[in-house]
């Protein structure tokens, strides 16, 4: 009996320690989740289209890499080991390679097996666009609902919002641009929205000659619904220009990638959810 009581006391003591340890671990995980989620909301961690709330994303993502493999412009990368709980999750550094939406199908979201990238809103938007199209178009040889479906799906992307630095922006300073935006060694690619190419091509092969720099406007895959060059007259009577970001901005980051200033004069701030 004495031996039994001693063993029982040891057991209870060990149980109390174990419970305390579990509580501490739980609190630690909660704390790590909070600080990791907050840390991940930054310019370097722009998540792919359709990402759910960041604090849930780092657990929902199983790091399978399907979104990385299927991206035609190789915009999506794996987060490194120094990123803690976010290690192995997908992110986009838009300065190096933006998501130019040239896949036309948001296929990174469609291929996600866990809905960490959630496809349902894109599916619903596409179906609704086709329903509206069918109301005004007959099914004949000219019937083609896919452009409106693709557009509607892209409009539902919301990775972030672009912000312009008017102190360094060439347009805001009244300057033009001539040449290749990022130099001959830059490896990024994009599909120019003017329809001159069916797929993304190297940015280093594109030469521009603009009296007033407007690359962020002309290269935006969402067009004038997302960004325009706003013209106004300054206090000294001179005409000035400033890229104006509109509600149609989806945060794809093409504007950041093509910006020719040494440090980009436009950035994309990730959405928080």
- The CA-based angle 30-35-40, given to 5 degrees, is 125
What's residue 43's pLDDT? 46
Q: Tell me the C-alpha distance between 172 and 174, whole Å.
A: 5
What's residue 154's pLDDT? 97
The phi, psi pair for 18, rounded to 5°, reads: -65, -45
What's residue 197's pLDDT? 86
- List C-alpha distances in Å: 16 to 2, 4, 8, 19, 25: 21, 18, 12, 5, 14
What's residue 18's pLDDT? 58
Walk along the chain (273 residues) and give the pLDDT tens digit of each residue. 555 555 666 556 665 655 565 555 555 555 555 555 555 444 467 999 999 998 899 899 999 999 999 999 999 999 988 877 788 999 999 999 999 999 999 999 999 999 999 999 999 999 999 999 999 999 998 999 999 999 999 999 999 999 999 999 999 998 999 999 999 999 999 999 988 888 999 999 999 999 999 999 999 999 999 999 998 777 777 778 999 999 999 999 999 999 999 999 999 999 876
The length of the chain is 273
Question: What is the pTM assigned to this prediction?
Answer: 0.82
Q: Where are the domains of the chain?
A: 119-157, 158-270
């Amino acid at each position: 009996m004495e031996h039994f009581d001693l063993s029982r006391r040891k057991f209870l003591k060990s149980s109390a320690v174990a419970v305390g340890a579990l509580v501490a671990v739980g609190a630690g995980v909660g704390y790590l989740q909070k600080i990791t989620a907050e840390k991940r909301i930054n310019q370097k961690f722009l998540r792919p289209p359709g990402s759910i709330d960041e604090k849930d994303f780092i657990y929902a993502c199983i790091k399978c890499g399907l979104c990385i493999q299927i991206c035609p412009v190789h915009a999506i990368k794996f987060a490194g080991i120094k990123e803690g709980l976010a290690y192995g999750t997908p992110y986009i550094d838009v300065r190096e390679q933006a998501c130019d939406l040239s896949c036309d199908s948001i296929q990174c979201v469609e291929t996600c097996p866990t809905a960490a990238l959630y496809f349902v809103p894109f599916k619903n938007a596409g179906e609704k666009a086709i329903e509206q199209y069918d109301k005004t178009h007959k099914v004949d040889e000219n019937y083609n609902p896919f452009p409106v479906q693709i557009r509607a799906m892209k409009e539902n992307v919301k990775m972030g919002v672009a912000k312009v630095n008017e102190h360094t922006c060439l347009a805001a300073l009244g300057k033009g641009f001539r040449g290749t935006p990022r130099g001959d060694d830059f490896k990024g690619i994009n599909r120019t929205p003017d329809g001159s190419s069916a797929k993304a091509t190297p940015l280093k092969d594109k030469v521009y000659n603009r009296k007033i720099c407007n690359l962020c406007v002309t290269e935006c895959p969402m067009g004038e619904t997302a960004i325009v060059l706003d013209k106004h007259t300054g206090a000294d009577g001179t005409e000035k220009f400033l890229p104006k970001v509109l509600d149609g901005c989806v945060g794809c980051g093409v504007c950041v990638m093509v910006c020719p200033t040494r440090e980009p004069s436009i950035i994309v701030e990730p959405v928080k959810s």
